[in-house]
Structure 1
Amino acid sequence: MKIYIKEQAASRLAGKLGGGRLKLHYDTEGCGCGVNGVPVLWIVSEPADGDVEIGTNAMPVLVEKSHIVFYADELIIDVSGAHQYRLSSPQEILNGWMNLVRKE
């Protein structure tokens, strides 16, 4: 899995982390079952059990190992509006309006 963070997104994220870690979380709450979910960005203080660290061009990103199967091999994180981010792959947009949620 490769993740590329566009320059504007990297700058905005770096300013909001405040010592926390960036995590790409596959949120299944309220989605019906474990295979239906929505990718979201979290700020966490430390990795959870089962998280793996993915190196990027800008900063490491934590991803739940069990949920990597739901993502494309290449992902791009970019800005999408004043407070949202977009997660895409070369084939599709996975979430065009991701919020950044502090979970510390």
Structure 2
Amino acid sequence: MMEKKAVVGETDMLQAMQKDALRLAGKALDQYDVTESTEIARFIKKEFDQLYGQGWQCIVGRDFGCFVTHQCGCFIYFTIGTLSILLFRGAVASEEEMGRQIVMEPVQP
């Protein structure tokens, strides 16, 4: 089982959800070659959508950078061998939070 070789880098998921992520990644790697990163990502994303509801995103690869906003409790980044996997459920800022993000320019006298 590939999930036993997984190394979790960052997560805020509950243990049960983490186990599902690792199990599904192992299952995907049993079905697809490591070079088929898009198919691996699609498999994990669709399974998580079925288990935990819509809105999951999955990025799989050997070298990538990212900056995402995620729902609390819905983020994991782990590696299996040389393959890195980022799985998260997207989040949208509320209008109140967006209002706080607006940068106000000084008023000209």
> Which band: TM-score by shorter chain?
under 0.3
**TM-score of the two chains, using structure 2 as the length reference:** 0.27
Larger Rg: 2
**TM-score of the two chains, using structure 1 as the length reference:** 0.27
